[in-house]
């Protein structure tokens, strides 16, 4: 979708439109799933708000693939319809929605399977009339066999790539990017209403703010807890699905406010199961967990539909509760201005270029070094903050990318040949080893042949670039 839109409206507009689209898709998808299960519109609206406007979505605005979770409830909706009725249209739509989730992100593909089959298995004892039956399991397997067959080349390739990574390293990443349960009710730090209240606790968030924030809000969390104690079998089934997702989200070991408890989680086993271990960041189970909370709340509220059939109570359920939930979990992107993302000298580059070169024309091409993002925060540069990252659009650099930058034999002549006017070297973020000078290097570089050279020395002494500006954080080199 993004590839098609870029040619029409441009990169940034395409990205922003797709972000908005997936917000709507997630809210609408959870609404139609809840309405299919309950037949109650006000309760379904709350399900749509809880999932569609969750802080999990808001904190991943820089990662379109992660925000693309709207396909999950729609896929589950068509899968449930197909397994119940066997309609060919629902079967085709089930396959298409599963494919859409997989092509958006492998995580969405796996999450769809966990939510759907979790509900089928858990819901069967209490919902035999609505869920169980041999024919329905046959249809379910058929609906998944077709997209798995279509995607098999991609699945095998991803599986092989994952198997090359040591499980121990993945477990360590699981500890870094796991759900801290307290975060489910605390507002996100960038919430415009309550964010300042939790900023003193930001240092306890595992990993980074993007992965560590998991707010569903106090109101939605309270409604979710109440639904757990309802005897409605449909509600109870979705509560158990949510519990499974919660246990996976806490990662290999439970952490409370940044402190390890030593209590192991099922993710320790998950990472050792081929195929399932395509999901390596446990905190992202918060996405489907939020969906399960929304559906369980909707099914619980639908039982009491007579209580809010009209008057103020209907307004309460249809308007006031959703508004409070949105206020609690709202995430407002703000410029992350710090030494790694912004520097006042960026506003002075035309002046520096003119004073150093005598050229009154502004610089055309400015290269930021390092080219490849070394921190998750760099992802924000290419999206909501308007500072594109050159050759750094992949959150996971391809194999060999680091060696490519190590081995690349830069020269002033090469940079001029591609019309580079300035190089901004941000020394705090650079790879520790610096540049690796090839054994065959000649000229000034031959003195360091076969060795690693600190980039400052490389740019200033080997390449002979002029220094237009310098401080403790960065140096601006001019060609």
Q: Tens digits of per-residue pLDDT, 31-63?
A: 999 999 999 999 999 999 999 988 888 777 767
At CA 170, angle to CA 166 and CA 175, rounded to 5?
150
For 350, 374, 426, 430, the CA distances from 473, given in Å and listed in that order, are 20, 16, 6, 11
**Given this model, what pLDDT does residue 10 score?**
62
Query: What is the spatial distance between Cα 20 and Cα 8, in angstroms, rounded to a whole number?
Result: 17
For residue 315, give every residue at least 6 positions away whose Cβ sits within 8 Å of its Cβ, in sequence order, or none.
none
| DSSP string covering 12-66 | HHHHHHHHHHHHHHHHHHHHHHHHHHH--HHHHHHHHHHHHT-HHHHTTTT-HHH
For the cut 50, the answer to whether the pLDDT of residue 378 exceeds it is: no
**Given this model, what pLDDT does residue 133 score?**
55
- The predicted model gives 359-372 an average pLDDT of 71
**Given this model, what pLDDT does residue 77 score?**
96
Query: What is the spatial distance between Cα 223 and Cα 242, in angstroms, rounded to a whole number?
Result: 13
- Angle between helix axes 11-38 and 71-85 (nearest 10 degrees) is 40
Pick the more confident residue, 66 or 469: 469
pLDDT per residue as tens digits for the range 248-297: 998 888 888 777 788 888 888 887 777 777 777 888 899 999 999 999 99
**Given this model, what pLDDT does residue 297 score?**
95
Contact of 178 with 211, CB cutoff 8 Å: no
Q: Which residue has the tokens 């908005």?
A: 20
For the cut 80, the answer to whether the pLDDT of residue 337 exceeds it is: no
Query: What is the spatial distance between Cα 286 and Cα 294, in angstroms, rounded to a whole number?
Result: 12
Query: What is the spatial distance between Cα 107 and Cα 115, in angstroms, rounded to a whole number?
Result: 12
**Given this model, what pLDDT does residue 274 score?**
72
Backbone angles phi, psi at 261, to 5 degrees: -95, -15
Closest C-alpha to 382, from 8, 9, 18, 16: 16
Closest C-alpha to 214, from 317, 166, 283, 280: 283
Pick the more confident residue, 91 or 376: 91
pLDDT band (50, 70, 90) for residue 386: very low
Number of H helices, E strands in the chain: 22, 8
- The predicted model gives 67-91 an average pLDDT of 91
Pick the more confident residue, 432 or 118: 118
pLDDT band (50, 70, 90) for residue 67: confident
Query: What is the spatial distance between Cα 327 and Cα 86, in angstroms, rounded to a whole number?
Result: 41
Report the Cα 277 to chain-centroid distance in Å. Answer: 17
**Given this model, what pLDDT does residue 168 score?**
55
**Could you tell me the two tokens for 48?**
């749509």
pLDDT per residue as tens digits for the range 438-458: 677 666 667 777 777 777 888
Model pTM? 0.72
The secondary structure of residue 319, as a DSSP letter, is: I
**Could you tell me the two tokens for 300?**
């619980």
**Given this model, what pLDDT does residue 12 score?**
62
For residue 153, give every residue at least 6 positions away whose Cβ sits within 8 Å of its Cβ, in sequence order, or none.
none
Query: What is the spatial distance between Cα 73 and Cα 24, in angstroms, rounded to a whole number?
Result: 12
At CA 29, angle to CA 24 and CA 31, rounded to 5?
100
**Given this model, what pLDDT does residue 342 score?**
59
pLDDT band (50, 70, 90) for residue 435: low
* Burial of residue 259 (number of CB atoms within 10 Å: 0-12, 13-18, 19+): exposed
pLDDT band (50, 70, 90) for residue 82: very high
For 104, 137, 214, the CA distances from 141, given in Å and listed in that order, are 22, 6, 32
- C-alpha dihedral sign at 111, 301, 56, 253: negative
Contact of 441 with 389, CB cutoff 8 Å: no
Contact of 261 with 255, CB cutoff 8 Å: yes
**Given this model, what pLDDT does residue 370 score?**
59
The secondary structure of residue 330, as a DSSP letter, is: -
CA trace torsion 368, 370, 376, 377 (10° rounding): -30
Mean pLDDT, all residues of the chain: 77
Backbone angles phi, psi at 469, to 5 degrees: -160, 150
Lowest-pLDDT range of 148-157, 220-229, 411-420: 411-420
Contact of 280 with 20, CB cutoff 8 Å: no
- The predicted model gives 132-148 an average pLDDT of 84
Query: What is the spatial distance between Cα 166 and Cα 163, in angstroms, rounded to a whole number?
Result: 7
Structural Rg of the chain based on CA atoms: 26
- The predicted model gives 123-132 an average pLDDT of 54
Query: What is the spatial distance between Cα 233 and Cα 225, in angstroms, rounded to a whole number?
Result: 15
**Could you tell me the two tokens for 34?**
């809840």
**Given this model, what pLDDT does residue 338 score?**
41
How crowded is the C-beta side of 21, counted as CA atoms within 13 Å?
13
pLDDT per residue as tens digits for the range 159-187: 666 555 555 555 566 667 888 888 888 88
């Amino acid at each position: 979708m993004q590839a098609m839109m870029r040619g029409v409206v441009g990169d940034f507009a395409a990205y922003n439109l797709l972000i908005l689209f997936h917000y709507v898709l997630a809210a609408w998808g959870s609404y139609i799933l809840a309405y299919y299960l309950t037949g109650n519109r006000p309760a379904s609206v709350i399900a749509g708000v809880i999932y569609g406007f969750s802080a999990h979505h808001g904190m991943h605005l820089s990662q379109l693939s992660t925000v693309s979770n709207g396909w999950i409830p729609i896929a589950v909706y068509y899968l449930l319809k197909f397994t119940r009725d066997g309609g060919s249209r629902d079967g085709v739509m089930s396959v298409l929605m599963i494919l859409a989730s997989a092509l958006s992100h492998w995580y969405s593909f796996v999450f769809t399977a966990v939510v759907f089959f979790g509900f089928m298995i858990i819901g069967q004892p209490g919902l035999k009339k609505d869920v169980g039956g041999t024919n329905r399991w046959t249809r379910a397997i058929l609906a998944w066999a077709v997209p798995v067959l279509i995607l098999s080349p991609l699945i095998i390739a991803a599986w092989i790539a994952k198997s090359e990574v040591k499980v121990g390293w993945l477990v360590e990443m699981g500890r870094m990017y796991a759900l801290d349960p307290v975060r489910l009710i605390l507002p996100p730090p960038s919430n415009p209403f309550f964010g300042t209240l939790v900023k003193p606790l930001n240092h306890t968030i595992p990993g980074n703010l993007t992965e560590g924030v998991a707010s569903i809000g106090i109101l939605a969390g309270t409604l979710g807890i109440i639904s757990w104690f309802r005897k409605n079998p449909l509600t109870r089934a979705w509560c158990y699905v949510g519990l499974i997702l919660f246990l996976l989200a806490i990662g290999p070991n439970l952490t409370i406010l940044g402190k390890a408890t030593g209590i192991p989680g099922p993710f320790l086993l998950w990472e050792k199961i081929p195929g399932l271990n395509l999901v390596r960041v446990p905190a992202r189970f918060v996405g489907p967990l939020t969906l399960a909370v929304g559906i369980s709340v909707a099914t619980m509220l639908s039982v009491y539909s007579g209580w809010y059939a009209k008057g103020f109570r209907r307004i309460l359920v249809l308007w006031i509760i959703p508004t409070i939930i949105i206020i609690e979990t709202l995430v407002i992107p703000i410029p992350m201005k710090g030494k790694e993302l912004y520097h006042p000298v960026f506003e002075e580059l035309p002046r520096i270029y003119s004073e150093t070169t005598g050229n009154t024309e502004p610089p055309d091409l400015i290269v930021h070094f390092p080219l490849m993002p070394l921190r998750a925060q760099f992802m924000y540069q290419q999206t909501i903050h308007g500072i594109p990252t050159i050759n750094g659009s992949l959150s996971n650099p391809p194999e060999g990318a680091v060696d490519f930058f190590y081995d690349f034999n830069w020269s002033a002549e090469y940079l001029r040949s591609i019309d580079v006017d300035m190089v901004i070297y941000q020394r705090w973020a650079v790879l520790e080893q610096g540049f690796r000078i090839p054994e065959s290097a000649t000229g000034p570089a031959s003195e360091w042949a076969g060795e690693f050279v600190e980039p400052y020395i490389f740019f200033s002494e080997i390449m002979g670039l002029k220094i237009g500006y310098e401080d403790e954080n960065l140096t601006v080199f001019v060609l």
